[in-house]
Amino acid sequence: MGNNGRTPRSHAAGHGQEVMVKIPLGLENVDADGPENKGRTPLSYAAEEGHEGVVKMLLEREEVGPGKPDNHGRTPLLHAAGYQNGPVTAEGVVEFTSGRGKF
């Protein structure tokens, strides 16, 4: 973690760097939904910044859910709804995960 408590994966997700998010996901014992110091997950950063490819990549993982709250009670769904950046919307996240029971 950096000095601000963010993991390298959360930085990569927030900047839409799909390759930097994908590489660790192929390793054993990697928590794709692992939070940083503020409780935010890589999905919350990707959703907030509107990075559709990263959002979809993370949501394909069974352990990743859009309803996991951070330390302030905000979920990735709320971040997507609050910022409405580009193609990532709360409705899109719900639609993508609706068949998985991830809420």
pLDDT attached to residue 60: 87
The Cα–Cα gap between 81 and 37 comes to 23
Q: Tell me the average pLDDT of the chain.
A: 78
The Cα–Cα gap between 85 and 80 comes to 8
pLDDT attached to residue 103: 39
Tokens read off for 102: 């991830």
Please name each of the domains of the chain with its CATH number: 8-100 (1.25.40.20)
Tokens read off for 67: 């309803």
User: Does pLDDT of 91 surpass 90?
Assistant: no
pLDDT attached to residue 102: 46
- Which pTM does this prediction carry? 0.76
26 vs 15, more confident = 15
The DSSP line for 16-82 is T-HHHHHHHHTSTT--TT---TTS--HHHHHHHHT-HHHHHHHHTSTT--TT---TTS--HHHHHHH
pLDDT attached to residue 72: 93
pLDDT attached to residue 59: 87
User: Does pLDDT of 1 surpass 60?
Assistant: no
Tokens read off for 35: 């939070």
